[in-house]
Structure 1
Amino acid sequence: MLESLHQIDVELFLKVNRDMGNPFFDWLLPLMRNRYFWAPLYLFIIIFCVKEYKKRGWYIIGMLAFTVAMGDLIASRVIKPLAGRLRPCNNLDLVGELVRRVPCGSGYSFPSAHATNHFAMAVFLIFVFYDKWKPILPIGLAWAFLISFSQIYVGVHYPIDTLVGALLGSLIGFTTSIIYKKIQPQV
């Protein structure tokens, strides 16, 4: 059963990483997974929250930072060392089959911390802002999905890594949004 699942995961990985390859994705998707590319968005979120929500905005930013910290801690420090799954770009069985589009890195693959963190942020922000701005739902999920998909395309994660990261991140974002709603200042 696990071997069959692993084989399906590898086949799907190769379909995305190798078979979907094209110059546009080769240019775009490495950018999508780069945290510096998204720095203006993160800065906008901070400025928007503080400007529009004042004291409450600082709570939103604090809980958002806590959300990312929890996602990173659980994915990178707890689960990855326990699972010990090699990244596809470090898997010697795939050397001749995959396309390396970014440096591989030495860390483990399962789950994807990028997927965990970005789905955690997206879900947290969706639950905080959905009542006032409905488009945040599709935009937030599409943003987190694009970053997660990019991880597969560039060759650093298997699809199951990003799927589990997305589920874990969504759970973390949902949980921290509940905590935020309980502790937010009433202004």
Structure 2
Amino acid sequence: MDTLLQADTDLLLALNGSSSQFVDGLMMALTSGFTWIPMYVALLYLVVKNSETMGQIVLVVACAALCVLLADGIADGIVKPSVERFRPCNDPSLRNLVQLV
């Protein structure tokens, strides 16, 4: 477990503490919700184009929404409370090493 935690910390500091404008900009773009809107629109277009009835479209969209709700509910309701791990910006050992934007 210590090896996994050390690898996690090393990866965090490599991505967050790189002092590279390119990496910082890339991470900001990837974590922005607006970045992913074109992908969602394209997926919705493919579902509509490849479905024969409105019922199929509704079923696919409803199942996708259910998957997102279940994943978020399990992560926020079960995993996070049971793990009780500090967020990197609140971890006392990393607080001075992590750059907050």
Question: In structure 2, do the counterparts of structure 1 residues 53 and 11 end up closer, same or farther at CA, with 3 Å as the change threshold?
Answer: same
Give 1:4 deviation, angstroms: 4.2
Which amino acid counterpart does residue 90 of structure 2 have in structure 1? Answer: N
Task: For 1:42-61, list aligned pairs within 5 A.
Answer: 42-55=40-53, 56-61=56-61
Give 1:25 deviation, angstroms: 1.9
The answer for the alignment partner of 1:30 in structure 2 is: 28
Matched positions, count: 99
Question: In structure 2, do the counterparts of structure 1 residues 4 and 45 end up closer, same or farther at CA, with 3 Å as the change threshold?
Answer: closer
Root-mean-square deviation (CA, aligned residues, Å) is 1.9
State, as a whole percentage, how many aligned pairs show the same letter. 27
- CA deviations 1:149-170 (Å, max 9, x no partner) are xxxxxxxxxxxxxxxxxxxxxx
State the distance in 1 between where 2:23 and 2:7 align: 23
The answer for the alignment partner of 2:10 in structure 1 is: 11
- CA deviations 1:96-134 (Å, max 9, x no partner) are 212223xxxxxxxxxxxxxxxxxxxxxxxxxxxxxxxxx
Q: 8 Å contact 1:49–1:57 — kept in the other structure?
A: yes
> Given the alignment of the two structures, is residue 81 of structure 1 paired with residue 97 of structure 2, yes or no?
no
Which aligned segments of 4 or more residues in structure 1 are displaced greater than 3 angstroms?
Answer: 2-5
Give 1:85 deviation, angstroms: 0.6
State the distance in 1 between where 2:69 and 2:52 align: 23
Could you tell me the TM-score, scaled by structure 2's length?
0.79
State the distance in 2 between where 1:26 and 1:11 align: 16
The structure that has the greater radius of gyration is: 2
For structure 2, the residue ranges without an aligned partner over 5 or more in a row are none
Q: Which of 35-44 and 81-90 deviates more?
A: 35-44
State the distance in 1 between where 2:77 and 2:11 align: 27
